[in-house]
């Protein structure tokens, strides 16, 4: 089952933007968007974003919204670098014509 975590970040250069981390199937997909009518785009997570993801998951653990095994997986996956793979229905490679 997939889990979604989200929060807002503020950057002096670009302003305020929303970050979402989708954890599903052994991958973390990092997405961001700024403003109401802008598309979601891939996000290169910083160390603060990775720490925030672990903190958000840690907050859900005592309320039993995620299991200890899921938390351990999130902690392990968040230590990896890069934006994560895009998998599932949103990523369909176009056929070569």
Token representation of residue 88: 């599932």
What pLDDT does residue 10 have?
94
pLDDT of 38-90, one tens digit each?
A: 999 998 898 999 999 999 999 999 889 999 999 999 998 888 766 555 444 45
Range of the domain at 61: 3-78
What pLDDT does residue 6 have?
95
Q: Count structural domains, the chain.
A: 1
What pLDDT does residue 34 have?
92
What pLDDT does residue 88 have?
46
Q: Does the pTM of the predicted model rise above 0.75? A: yes
In a domain, 84, yes or no: no
In a domain, 91, yes or no: no
In a domain, 93, yes or no: no
Lowest mean pLDDT among 12-16, 77-81, 87-91, 92-96: 87-91
Dihedral class, residue 35 (left if φ above 0, else alpha if ψ from -120 to 50, else beta): left
In whole angstroms, what is the distance from residue 16 CA to residue 20 CA? Answer: 14
In whole angstroms, what is the distance from residue 52 CA to residue 30 CA? Answer: 13
């Amino acid at each position: 089952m997939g889990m979604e975590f989200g929060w807002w970040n503020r950057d002096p250069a670009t302003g305020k933007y929303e970050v979402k981390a989708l954890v599903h199937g052994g991958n973390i997909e990092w997405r961001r968007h700024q403003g109401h009518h802008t598309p979601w785009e891939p996000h290169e997570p910083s160390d603060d974003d990775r720490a925030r993801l672990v903190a958000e998951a840690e907050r859900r653990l005592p309320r039993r919204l995620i299991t200890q095994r899921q938390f351990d997986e999130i902690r392990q996956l968040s230590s990896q670098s890069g934006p994560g793979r895009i998998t599932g229905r949103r990523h369909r490679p176009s056929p070569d014509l």
